[in-house]
Amino acid sequence: ERGEYRHYMLKEIHEQPQAVADTLEGRIAGGHVLTQMLGVDAEALLARTDSVQIVACGTSYHAGLVAGYWIESFAGVPCKVEIASEYRYRNPVVRAGTLFLGISQSGETADTLAALKMAKGRDYVARMAVCNVPESSIVRESELVLMTRAGPEIGVASTKAFTTQLVALALFALELARAKGLDAARYADGVRQLEQLPGLIAQTLKLDGQIRALAENFAAKQHALFLGRGTHWPVAMEGALKLKEISYIHAEAYAAGELKHGPLALVDKDMPVIAVAPNDHLIDKLKSNLEEVRARGGELYAFVDETVAHGLDADHVLTLPACGEFAAPVVFTLPLQLLAYHVAVLRGTDVDQPRNLAKSVTVE
Ligand code: F6R
């Protein structure tokens, strides 16, 4: 089943152009997201929605964090994002007009399912699931469902499930934004970015050889720091999680603006720093954070897009295609997946079955 690929994880990374195309299939037509993608009652429920509570675990939580930025920025609707194991054991205040949104690849994660069940008795507009398994408990328990259609994911480290979650959540954010009266030009631009994604992903995966070369330097390190800002902070978190899970290198992600509030003390020549640096409104801020890293002798790996490749002083620069706000978190995730993969292979770990982890966490 792995075919030509050495590991399921690598196969699943390379399936992403198709998986994302499948997520988009039949959900966009004539430059619009089709409201029916969420079911027949969706229009009325979205009209009543004036805030969103996202709950998930692990990689799915990172997808939720990205979606939180989109929902507030595009739909103008407040959005909170929380880890399911925290949410379920506190007493959350539910404001009227809040939509509950659970995100789960497997649809069986114990904490996410428990949070969803707990939400039932509360005053939510509805409970919605973004999920990859149609027959799962989380799908059965939810009133609104948006399937990610990634296909089966065998590797324990989530890859195509994450990027298809991002795409499903982008569709949802655009749809909510339309219901809230987002300006037409911005909406059209968002839809266009999603339509171009499968091609951009395929183009980015061609950088595999360059990323493998970067991994050679990396494989002997003990620690790594991942930096991003805005939606690319959770993308950095996802990069750090991938590296931890499969290579067992200790990695942490920080919002780049937090650097001088503590983690800068860790930076020296033995600390590789990976910067996720697309050309968004935060790029100049990020560049000055990266200068601080260089000034402390940190070894800087900058993942930039072609429009910022100039004027960035780094030891290693990987140049990705330029893309907009919806496409960039997906595109910039890809080199982080490949970096973790190649580092793990070089270190000889069990890529598809990392120690101590299970694919689906059905007990707490
Ligand atoms: C990391 C990973 C986990 C899962 C988490 C939630 O690569 O796969 O962090 O994302 O256990 O699982 P689901 O999405 O099935 O609820």
Q: Catalytic residues, which ones?
A: 359
Strands (E), 256-298: 272-277
Greater pLDDT, 35 or 113? 113
Q: Residues 106-135: pLDDT tens digits?
A: 999 999 999 999 999 899 999 999 999 999
> What's 230's DSSP letter?
T
What percent of the chain lies above the pLDDT cut of 90? 81
| Res. 353: pLDDT tops 80 | yes
Q: How far is the CA of 161 from the centre of ligand 1 (A)?
A: 9
Probe residue for ligand 1, chosen from 361, 362, 363, 364 as the CB with the greatest number of ligand atoms within 8 Å: 361
The pLDDT score that the predictor gives to residue 272 is 94
- Report CA dihedral (200, 107, 73, 189) to the nearest 10 degrees: 30
The pLDDT score that the predictor gives to residue 215 is 96
- 282 band by pLDDT with thresholds 50, 70 and 90: confident
Q: Which residue has the tokens 């298809």?
A: 164
DSSP notation for 162-213: HHHHHHHHHHHHHHHHHHTT--HHHHHHHHHHHHHHHHHHHHHHTTHHHHHH
| Res. 155: pLDDT tops 80 | yes
- 361 band by pLDDT with thresholds 50, 70 and 90: confident
pTM as predicted = 0.97
ipTM above 0.90?
yes
Token pair belonging to 201: 């992903």
Judged by average pLDDT, the poorest of 226-235, 264-273, 310-319, 353-362 is 310-319
Q: What is the side-by-side strand order in the sheet with 144-147?
A: 79-83, 51-56, 98-104, 127-131, 144-147
| Res. 239: pLDDT tops 90 | yes
Q: What is the mean pLDDT of the chain?
A: 94
- 287 band by pLDDT with thresholds 50, 70 and 90: confident
- 364 band by pLDDT with thresholds 50, 70 and 90: confident
- 311 band by pLDDT with thresholds 50, 70 and 90: low
User: Are the C-beta atoms of residues 290 and 259 closer than 8 Å to each other?
Assistant: no
- For residue 224, the cross-strand partners are 251
Q: How far is CA 52 from CA 65, 286, 340, in A?
A: 12, 29, 32
Q: How far is the CA of 360 from the centre of ligand 1 (A)?
A: 7
The pLDDT score that the predictor gives to residue 223 is 95
Average pLDDT value for residue range 327-348:
97
Average pLDDT value for residue range 158-170:
98
Residues with CB under 6 A from ligand 1: 57-60, 104-106, 109, 112, 157-158, 241, 245, 360-361
Probe residue for ligand 1, chosen from 9, 13, 81, 109 as the CB with the greatest number of ligand atoms within 8 Å: 109
| Cα atoms in the 13 Å half-sphere on the side-chain side of 331 | 31
- 309 band by pLDDT with thresholds 50, 70 and 90: low
Atom of ligand 1 at shortest distance to CA of 165?
14
